[in-house]
Amino acid sequence: MTSSTSLLQALTDRIGADHVLTGDAAAPYLTDWRQRYTGAAQAVVRPGSTQEVAAVMACCAQHGVPVVPQGGNTGLAGAATPDASGKAVVISLQRLQQIRAIDTDNDTMTVEAGCILQNVQQAARNADRLFPLSLASEGSCTVGGNLATNAGGTQVLRYGNTRELALGLEVVTPDGEIWDGLRGLRKDNTGYDLRDLYIGSEGTLGIITAATLRLYPLPVAVCTALVALRSMDDAVALLARSRAGFGASLTGFEVMSGVSLELVVRMFPQQSLPLPTSPWFALLEVSDSESEAHGRERFETVLEGALEADLVQDVVIAANIAQGRALWHLRESISLAQSAEGKNIKHDISVPISKIAQYVRTTDALLQDLIPGARNITFGHLGDGNLHYNLTRPETMTEPDFLARQYDVYRVVHDSVHAHQGSISAEHGIGQLKRDELLRYKSPLEMALMRRIKDALDPKGLMNPGKVLVGTGDGDSAV
């Protein structure tokens, strides 16, 4: 028996042949959502419980086989795709689907890692509570993936990233031990915070199998508006005005360039823009805890003030929930419209909000010098200083020629981010896509400290090699 067949037999013994996939059955798990990376694996395994995850991990550790955790495979940094060596086992958490408990007195819910985010939101709503994490991929991404990437989304402004929404974790270590850290505590200063180490670690330290999450009261009314703006400076000024006017009720403030929304209506003609085209748009959401009428009145007062101050050019306020959803749908369709149009060069950057307008102005000009005619598809969570600052090829350039300039584009964009005291990955993580970039911008000491944590928690280097840190795997599998 070869070592590969003995490993597959051992995995089959632990979780059943139906859940050890090879060949065509494994293929969908080996390419990422953007189709930028395709890897190979000895098998894709689908354990159905924490105990089965532990058994799989112990088995892989005994065989010295690397593992790649995977949730919904919607990640945008190639972090859930194995390298091309074919040595790894992909562990899909999709069968860990249970909502284990909802505690409405404590405002928490405990869910398994493979639960789809949308199902978790619905389970919270059924208990008359809000789970506020919200991403355009929420119909496919999993809570385990959200935790492993510390996902952001559209309500970070009010409720924080996934990190702020998680009180406790259950984790399987690379050797197959189970750490039960499912505490529903808002205060717990008993030593190092292991939970926060695993959150955002992109599957490089252990496998998250369950989490205890924070819940919030459901808002009584939600008001949504789309506004047209002349410039990013005006968007930043409107954000400040909205913060002052709405306080903690401001739950979303998204910015989108006119070019982004024009792309959406071009690629998806069933959608339409309710306002004439404009250089920039902002999407505002306010959640009111008193009443529909109260929420709407405050909303109209603040936006009328902004119109009178000539800060905004035009406003459409959603008259009902369906209209509000249609406005959000425009925003959420930008990534899909970009994928439909072809491959592009994506950046997920953050800079201090006070520097964001200057960042966009300076970097747009530098990119035009580099690739004249390239189109910026810029949109994102302005309330968090986070932009998806994407670049699409000029019509005169072929896709391969454009993609060959990726690292030149990175250099311009990321050097500019660095010069503006920002981050090269605000919410999507590092994965394999930005692994080498990380080295350029983090200090040697910060990299060394990260390496020491990795070595302490994963001494054999079997957890998701080649992701986040250089020198932990066989290298790029980019296609």
Contacts with ligand FAD, residue ranges (CB under 6 A) = 33, 68-76, 79-80, 93, 113, 135-137, 141-142, 144-146, 148-149, 151-153, 202-203, 207-208, 335, 427-428, 464, 467
Identify which of residues 14 and 428 has a Cβ nearer to ligand FAD in the complex.
428
Q: What's the closest the beta carbon of residue 294 comes to ligand FAD, in angstroms?
A: 29
- Residue 383 one-letter amino acid: G
Minimum CB distance to ligand FAD, residue 466 (Å): 11
Q: Which residue is nearest to ligand FAD (CB)?
A: 145
What are the DSSP E strand ranges found in 406-462? none
* CB of 337 vs ligand FAD, minimal distance in Å: 10
Q: At closest approach, how far in Å is the CB of 420 from ligand FAD?
A: 21
| Nearest to ligand FAD of 19, 467 (CB atom) | 467
Nearest in space to 338 (alpha carbons), one of 14, 25, 35, 15: 35
Pick 114 or 324: Cβ nearer ligand FAD: 114
Order across the sheet with 89-92: list the strands: 20-21, 43-45, 89-92, 67-70
Rounded CA gap, 275 and 155, in Å?
24
Nearest-approach distance from CB 171 to ligand FAD, in angstroms? 8
Report the alpha-carbon distance of residue 257 to residue 176 in Å, rounded: 47
Closer of 152 and 422 to ligand FAD (Cβ): 152
| Cα–Cα distance, 146 to 125 (Å, whole number) | 19
- Find the shortest distance in angstroms from Cβ 449 to ligand FAD: 20
Q: Name the residue nearer to ligand FAD (CB basis): 76 or 222.
A: 76
Q: What letter does residue 385 receive in the DSSP assignment?
A: T
Three-class SS state of 225: strand
Least distance to ligand FAD, CB of residue 242, Å: 20
Toward ligand FAD, which CB reaches closer, 53 or 367?
A: 53
State which residue, 366 or 478, has the beta carbon closest to ligand FAD.
Answer: 478
Give residue 191's Cα distance to chain centre: 29
Q: Which backbone phi and psi does 280 adopt, to 5 degrees?
A: -140, 155
Number of helices (H), then strands (E), belonging to the chain: the values are 17, 18
What's the closest the beta carbon of residue 187 comes to ligand FAD, in angstroms? Answer: 26
Shortest Cβ 377–ligand FAD spacing (Å): 13
Residue 310 contacts by C-beta under 8 Å, 6 or more apart in sequence? none
**Lookup: tokens for 409:** 């584009």
DSSP state of 287: E
Q: Which is nearer to ligand FAD, 72 or 219 (CB)?
A: 72
Q: Which is nearer to ligand FAD, 153 or 422 (CB)?
A: 153
Q: Which residues touch 120 (CB under 8 Å, ≥6 apart)?
A: 99, 109, 111, 131, 133, 143, 213
Q: State the Cα–Cα distance between residues 213 and 102, nearest whole angstrom.
A: 9
How long, in residues, is the chain? Answer: 479
Q: Please, which residue, 75 or 295, has the CB nearer to ligand FAD?
A: 75
Q: Tokens 């860990």 correspond to what residue?
A: 96
Instruction: Output the smallest distance, CB 80 to ligand FAD, in A.
Output: 4
Q: Which of 177, 183, 192 is nearest to 211 (CA)?
A: 183
Residue 383: both structure tokens together = 């309330």
CB atoms within 10 A of CB 402: 20
